């Protein structure tokens, strides 16, 4: 894992740019914007994906696998913290003396001279960033944005914009977000995640405090979250803050929530009220939208303008994303991987499914996260999922840890909870389809590569219906 060097001055010129791991959620968005700015951009990734295919369609050269030859005539190489020091392309770049930038530094190059609105938080930041970007777009402003997930309304995760405002997702996973210095910073929540990097919860709070203090205008904080309330006490009166949530003491309060089939609610600020209706369901989406409205208010919008702009949001890919209905069974995919996110996704599924059952297919992400949070994950599935099919851990940037397998979660499932373990994807799909009845939801859940199982899952359901004459 390559740790970012914080505080470095961003170079004036990048020249020809090559991305190592260009298919990553943050990397791909930055690469796309640099290409839109007229730079020659190339990249490589360990495998082809929908993301790399989309980049190629945008005119970016993408190579599969890592080979020093892929650098070509690059003068700048961009890496993320997921890239290892022994990556052959990174080793070649260093040997040539090329300019090597962390992903966050390339993003800082993009946002130079912009009035930046940055969204951070342990969970919900990708959805909130998409909400904020599309709200500004809907209000008629040609804003740019770099998000960590595809904005459903745009079909891409990023774009360049001529407006002075620029929206970014500020990823806290490697602490690089402390260097962005936004005008307005929104923090959705703070939880013990990425402990493989930080080690302690106090270190996480330290980084969020540094990020918040870097904001030049306002910090928008969720009053419903214990972590952000603690951050507020750390900031004291030194930093201008605006709070939001369902808590009556918040500055921007949402009430009268209807969670589904689409979320709608009333938002109130300084005695004025407005109604907001999203195009997606769920209490958490309503809470995130309230934060977006508060961020727009902090940016100079009236409450009515902000609520109107936030209305109609249709989601971010892999955030409770609907993939179809076959034989009365609805199929969704979500990137949830932390216990808090898992519980929220299952809560949304429950609001949507009505009298049906929620059948979940879950791929744990990271050996360290599974080791730290097996009990909390088991608790979330035991309560929120009617039946869970567990798969093998997706290790991502980590090497296996001895003794850490999915079984750590299985051992902690509540007595009477319905679940099974099936690492084979085809067999897992057959199990889910065999159990699902009309009116049920099948929800795939992971931040790894399990999203790629969705076509197989749908095909398995169609075959089963054809075989039964349905």
Burial 420-437 (b: 16+ CB within 10 A, else e): eebeebeebbbbbbebbe
pLDDT band at 316 (very low <50, low <70, confident <90, very high): low
Query: DSSP assignment of 164-226, as one string?
Result: SEEEEE---TTSGGGG---SEEEE----S--HHHH-SHHHHHHHHHHHHHT-SSEEEEETT-H
User: pLDDT of 363-420, one tens digit each?
Assistant: 998 898 899 889 999 999 999 999 999 999 998 777 899 999 999 999 999 999 999 9
Closest CA to 384 of 334, 337, 416, 345: 345
pLDDT value at residue 25: 80
pLDDT of res. 90? 97
Tell me whether residue 95 is exposed, middle or buried, using C-beta atoms within 10 angstroms of its C-beta: 0 to 12, 13 to 18, 19 or more: exposed
CA distance 409 to 27: 31
The rounded mean pLDDT for the chain is 93
Q: Which residue has the higher pLDDT, 261 or 223?
A: 223
- Identify which has the larger pLDDT, 48 or 428: 428
| pLDDT exceeds cutoff 80 at 469 | no
Q: Which of 460, 392, 454, 388 is nearest to 423 (CA)?
A: 392
Range with the lowest mean pLDDT among 87-91, 226-230, 334-338, 421-425? 334-338
Q: What percentage of the chain exceeds 90 in pLDDT? A: 75
CA-wise closest residue to 191 among 383, 292, 340, 291? 340
Most confident of the following: 256-260, 339-343, 429-433: 429-433
Q: Both tokens of residue 367?
A: 């050996």
C-alpha distances out from residue 351 to 194, 289, 371, 381, Å: 29, 17, 30, 16
Q: Alpha-carbon distance 329 to 381, whole Å?
A: 20
DSSP, residue by residue, 88-154: HHHHHHHHHT-EEEEHHHHHHHHTTTSEEEEEE-SSSHHHHHHHHHHHHHHTT---EEEEEEEETTT
Tokens of 115: 């009035």
Question: Of the candidates 182, 177, 181, which has an alpha carbon nearest to the alpha carbon of residue 190?
Answer: 177
Backbone phi and psi for residue 420, each to the nearest 5 degrees, phi listed first: -155, 165
Summarised one tens digit per residue, pLDDT across range 237-254 is: 989 999 999 999 999 999
Complete domains list, the chain, with CATH: 17-102 (3.40.50.720), 111-310 (3.40.1190.10), 321-467 (3.90.190.20)
User: In this structure, what token pair is assigned to residue 371?
Assistant: 């080791």
**pLDDT score recorded for residue 269:** 98
Residues in the chain, how many?
Answer: 470
CA dihedral in degrees (198, 199, 203, 208; nearest 10)? 40
> Could you report the per-residue pLDDT of 166-206, keeping only the tens digit for each?
999 999 988 999 999 999 999 999 987 777 778 898 999 99
**Alpha-carbon separation of residue 60 from 34, 152, 273 (angstroms):** 10, 21, 46
Non-local (6+) Cβ contacts of 19 within 8 A are 27, 30, 31, 41, 42, 43, 44, 77, 78, 79
- Alpha-carbon gap, residue 225 to 188, rounded angstroms: 8
Contact between 299 and 184 under an 8 Å Cβ cutoff? The reply is yes
Strand runs labelled E in 407-463:
419-421, 441-445
Check: CB of residue 362 under 8 Å from CB of residue 387: no
- Which of 127, 196, 235 is closest to 367 using CA atoms? 196
State the pTM of this model: 0.80
And the tokens for 382?
């035991």
């Amino acid at each position: 894992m390559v740790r970012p060097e914080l505080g470095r001055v961003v170079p004036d010129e990048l020249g020809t740019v090559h991305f190592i791991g260009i298919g990553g959620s943050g990397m791909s968005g930055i690469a796309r914007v640099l290409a839109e700015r007229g730079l020659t951009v190339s990249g490589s990734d360990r495998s082809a994906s929908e993301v790399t295919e989309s980049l190629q369609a945008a005119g970016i050269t993408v190579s599969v696998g890592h080979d020093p030859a892929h650098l070509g005539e690059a003068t700048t190489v961009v890496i993320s913290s997921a890239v290892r020091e022994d990556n052959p392309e990174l080793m070649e770049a260093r040997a040539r003396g090329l300019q090597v930038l962390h992903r966050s530094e390339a993003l800082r190059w993009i946002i130079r001279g912009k009035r930046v609105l940055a969204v951070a938080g342990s969970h919900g930041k990708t959805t909130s960033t998409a909400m904020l970007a599309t709200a500004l777009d809907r209000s008629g402003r040609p804003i740019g944005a770099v998000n960590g997930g595809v904005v459903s309304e745009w079909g891409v995760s990023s774009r360049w914009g001529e407006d002075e405002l620029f929206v970014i997702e500020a990823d806290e996973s490697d602490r690089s977000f402390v260097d962005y210095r936004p005008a307005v910073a929104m923090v959705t929540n703070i939880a013990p995640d990425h402990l493989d990097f930080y080690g302690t919860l106090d270190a996480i709070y330290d980084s969020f405090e540094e990020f918040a203090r870097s904001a030049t205008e306002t910090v928008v904080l969720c009053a419903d979250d214990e972590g952000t309330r603690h951050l507020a006490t750390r900031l004291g009166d030194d930093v201008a803050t605006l709070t939001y949530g369902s808590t009556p003491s918040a500055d921007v309060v949402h009430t009268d929530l209807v969670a589904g089939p689409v979320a709608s609610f009333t938002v109130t600020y300084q005695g004025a009220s407005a109604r907001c209706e999203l195009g997606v369901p769920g209490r958490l989406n309503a809470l995130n939208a309230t934060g977006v409205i508060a961020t727009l208010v902090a940016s100079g919008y009236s409450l009515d303008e902000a609520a109107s702009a936030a209305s109609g949001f249709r989601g971010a890919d892999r955030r409770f994303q609907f993939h179809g209905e076959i034989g009365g069974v609805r199929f969704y995919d979500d990137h949830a991987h932390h216990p808090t996110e898992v519980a929220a996704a299952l809560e949304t599924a429950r609001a949507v499914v009505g009298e049906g059952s929620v059948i979940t297919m879950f791929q744990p992400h990271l050996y360290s996260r599974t080791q730290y949070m097996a009990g909390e994950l088991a608790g979330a599935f035991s309560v929120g999922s009617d039946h869970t099919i567990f798969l093998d851990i997706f290790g991502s940037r980590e090497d296996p840890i001895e003794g850490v397998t999915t079984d750590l979660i299985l051992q902690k499932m509540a007595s009477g909870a319905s679940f099974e373990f099936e690492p084979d994807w085809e067999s897992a799909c057959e199990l889910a389809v065999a159990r699902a009845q009309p009116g049920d939801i099948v929800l795939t859940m992971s931040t790894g590569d399990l999203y790629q199982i969705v076509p197989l899952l749908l095909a398995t359901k169609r075959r089963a219906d054809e075989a039964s004459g349905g």
